[in-house]
Chains A and B, each alone.
Chain A
Amino acid sequence: MELLEALSTKFNYWIYIIIMMIGLYAMISKNNLVKKLIGMSIFQTAIILFYVSIGVKEGATIPILYHDQVHPSHGYSHHKADTGHIEDHHPSHEEIVANLLIEPDDFGNPLPHVLMLTAIVVGVATLGVGLALTQKIYRDFGSIEESEILESIKSAK
């Protein structure tokens, strides 16, 4: 029962570890250079999954303030504000901030999203460079099977 509970409340960590290990296995064991890169991509994506799941909060929304919070419309009720701004009054930044009430639990944690944007970019860059290297290897050796390449190096000696 305890195990079941651990599985159900912490399933995100189990999933990320399983996916990550699939990627790691492909990176180490595959003979084909492109398959290794696919493994690398899976491996990095698993880490992104891990980070993003850290920032999840039960009942919270995306980390962007509500439109009403940032553009409070004086004198109008919440529903009327949607139909259009008739009034020209724009409250200054200080006025908005003074009336601003933000409940931290309403919004997801923004930091993991920022960090993972970086990790995604790094993943794309690494994958691109890896594919370029693979293409050059294919151009030079005529194969993307690691064993065949090593053999052709040996026979060249």
Chain B
Amino acid sequence: MKSFALITVILTGWLLLSAVSDFPSWGDTESPANDYRLSQHYITETFPESSVPNMVTAVLADYRGYDTMFETVVIFVAGIAIMSILRRKPLDYLKDTGRETRSYKKDPDLIIDTTCRLMIPIIQLFALYVVAHGHHSPGGGFQGGVIFGASFILLALSRDLQAAQRWVPEKRVLNLAGIGILIYSGFGFACMILGSNFLDYEILHKIMPATPVEARSHSMLGVEIGVAFTCTAIMFSIYSNLASNGDMKETL
């Protein structure tokens, strides 16, 4: 297997290297990728068309919003997939090991507990800022959602999984994830019902107190919130399923 791998790697590497001489140099402003009308359009027209100064957010949530919706679905699928692969009934677990549940550490350490108690609200506040400020600075739904999910993971690490699950039981996690995608696609379907194409936010100015251009910007924020819901929920779900090997006490 080792020599086979080596041959494959050398052949692939040689193939990929053979094209390097054809590539533009590092940082070339004249390269086709940077000079083509696509990239130029995103840089110069984003603000006039959607009043969002952060081009990455605008391209992500508007121009390529369809992609991003499925990106959210990828996260959702990962959460459901991990759950469906690992999860088993508490009964099966008993049969396997004879123990009722995993032994969790009972009393938390004072210093760790107090520190995390202080940190978790701040982390969550910062996560909300990252979501809300994605139009003007680096950030957005994915990043904010992951930070928010991390705060729950910190709670689970500092106490135990059950403590975190009191806040976000599994059923709520699944609902949150589903609602996130529903918010995202809801914007799309609303556009469809109002007679425009899927995710064509401009038409939403009919039901929003905004001009067509502002409607794009507001819808992007709404969409990012949906993404944040899903990200938060699924990050925690992935952690709790992997960390407990699918043996959480409560079933669905």
Interface residues of A (CB under 8 A from B): 6, 9-14, 17-18, 20-21, 24-25, 28-29, 31, 53-60, 62-65, 67, 69-70, 93, 96-97, 100, 102, 104-105, 107, 109-114, 117-118, 121-122, 124-126, 128-129, 131-133, 135-136, 139
Given known A17-B17, A20-B16, contact A56–B26 (CB-CB < 8 A)? yes
Chain B residues, CB < 8 A from A126: 78
B81/A54 in contact, CB under 8 A: no
User: Which size bracket describes the interface of B in this complex?
Assistant: 35 or more
Inter-subunit contact B48/A107 (CB<8 Å): no
Q: Judge whether A10 and B74 touch: CB under 8 Å.
A: no
Cβ contact within 8 Å between A121 and B75? yes
Chain B residue at minimum C-beta to C-beta distance from A110: B55
> Given the complex, which residues of A lie within 8 Å of B103, measured CB to CB?
none
The main secondary structure of chain A at its interface with chain B is helix
Interface contact B27-A58, CB-CB below 8 Å:
yes
Question: Of B33-41, B118-126, B171-179, B181-189, which binds chain A?
Answer: B33-41
6 contacts between A and B (CB under 8 A): A13-B17, A25-B5, A62-B138, A70-B47, A70-B53, A125-B75
Q: What secondary structure prevails in chain B residues at the interface with A?
A: helix
Q: B86 is contacted by which of A56, A63, A105, A136 (Cβ under 8 Å)? A: A136
Query: B193-252: which have CB < 8 Å to A?
Result: 211, 213-214, 238, 241-242, 245-246
Are A63 and B54 in contact, CB atoms less than 8 angstroms apart? yes
Chain A residues closer than 8 Å to B77, beta-carbon distance:
125
Most B C-beta atoms less than 10 A away, residue of A57, A62, A109? A109
Knowing that A21-B9, A63-B54, A64-B56 touch, tell me 17 more A-B residue pairs with CB under 8 angstroms: A20-B16, A21-B13, A24-B5, A28-B1, A29-B4, A55-B39, A56-B27, A57-B28, A64-B53, A102-B47, A107-B43, A109-B34, A110-B43, A125-B78, A129-B78, A129-B81, A132-B81
Q: Which residues of A contact B71 (CB under 8 A)?
A: 117-118, 121-122
With both beta carbons as reference points, the residue of chain A lying nearest to B217 in the complex is identified as: A93
A residues near B246, Cβ cutoff 8 Å: 135-136
